[in-house]
Structure 1
């Protein structure tokens, strides 16, 4: 019996469809992707895709939510116990490893969901806010544990977290789309960003903030 004739549990069928949809949307974009090619890639009929996931919008939304949950979960699972710099470095490694290992999922989130409009952009923003909140907590913990006075206030900590997450997203995008001389490994990318960002954060925590020379 062929793949289209096999009886599989609904949850398994849905994951097959989402896998095929993420690949198709990630590589072709929302507008160019067709339900016919998604159904073909999933090994099911197009009516079955509509039966399970209602519409192209619903299917794309399910892909966005699944990939967002996977990215956040990968970051949280990667974080190791230890001082804040160790936690941040291991979280960044998890972030870059997931981005490199799921390039189509990355494209769905960062190239298509945030530019295609509501409600997809809203789901992307919610994912990003969760990551920023997590990084904000790590930086706040580092500030509390440091000897610096005055300690960075809440607005400064939030700004630093947004800047660090933005840098990580930009570096991951370069890894997946723009690295011409060979993309770095997840560990190398995390080390690169830590050398760029944490050295400055560490100086700040030690009471040595940068200031422009006169």
Structure 2
């Protein structure tokens, strides 16, 4: 990891506003935590990559636990915002789901260290990290639940799917998307669009339709 030595930026770093300095440190922390994991990451390495002294990291961001929590919260908020921003409220139900999935896979591909922090390291780091990432997941599941409910209304004119069934489908869809993002990030040849199409084929078309050769397409007639 090619960090910049603290002394090389010390003069310039002193003139940075506090918010910018914290962003710089958090950027470095996300990269180190994403590559090393919470336990293996060192504050020395984070400080070195950020181009500041380790005492300054502690002064601004307190403990290693607090820093990791800040990384989880920032990356979670960015992911949720990206998914919500990617969906057009006036689009048909299948397009909304397609757009949300595409936004999800695009964001996780563009921010692999942030996704590693959320999907891998936070979940295995124990409390309070599990609770932090769980809150993010709950927000995404809630959003997907509204999309599935809208799809039921569009397809049938009435929300025929029971509320509990809609919630279960949302949980399954989000879980599958999380697993698929891990697979896609491990294979650079898999694009966000390909991953989203795979999910649409699985979730929208269904396994039965796939076996009959039917596939979902983002090219609507």
Q: Does the 8 A contact of 1:99 with 1:106 survive in 2?
A: yes
**C-alpha distance after superposition, 1:75-105 (max 9, x if no partner):** 0111123111101100100000001000000
1:67 paired with 2:103, answer no
- Give 1:31's match in structure 2, choosing from 31, 34, 39: 39
**Which residue of structure 1 aligns with residue 30 of structure 2?**
22
Q: Does the 8 A contact of 1:176 with 1:183 survive in 2?
A: no
1:123 paired with 2:129, answer no
What do you get for the CA RMSD once the two structures are aligned? Answer: 1.8
Q: Shift of residue 184 of structure 1?
A: 1.5
**Which residue of structure 1 aligns with residue 94 of structure 2?**
85
The more displaced of 65-74 and 79-88 is 79-88
TM-score (norm 1): 0.89
Q: Does the 8 A contact of 1:84 with 1:142 survive in 2?
A: yes
Distance between the aligned counterparts of 1:69 and 1:183, measured in 2? Answer: 27
The more displaced of 39-48 and 140-149 is 140-149
- Give 2:202's match in structure 1, choosing from 180, 184, 196: 196
Distance between the aligned counterparts of 1:52 and 1:10, measured in 2? Answer: 8
Distance between the aligned counterparts of 1:143 and 1:167, measured in 2? Answer: 20
The more displaced of 99-108 and 79-88 is 79-88
Aligned CA distance change for structure 1 residues 122 and 45 (closer, same or farther; 3 Å): same
Map 1:41-60 → 2, pairs under 5 A: 41-60=49-68
Q: How many residues align?
A: 199
**Which residue of structure 2 aligns with residue 187 of structure 1?**
193
Distance between the aligned counterparts of 1:147 and 1:79, measured in 2? Answer: 22
Aligned CA distance change for structure 1 residues 150 and 85 (closer, same or farther; 3 Å): closer
Distance between the aligned counterparts of 1:148 and 1:87, measured in 2? Answer: 17
Segments of 5+ residues of structure 2 without an aligned counterpart are 1-6, 210-221
Q: Which runs of 4+ in 1 moved over 4 A?
A: none
Q: Shift of residue 200 of structure 1?
A: 3.0
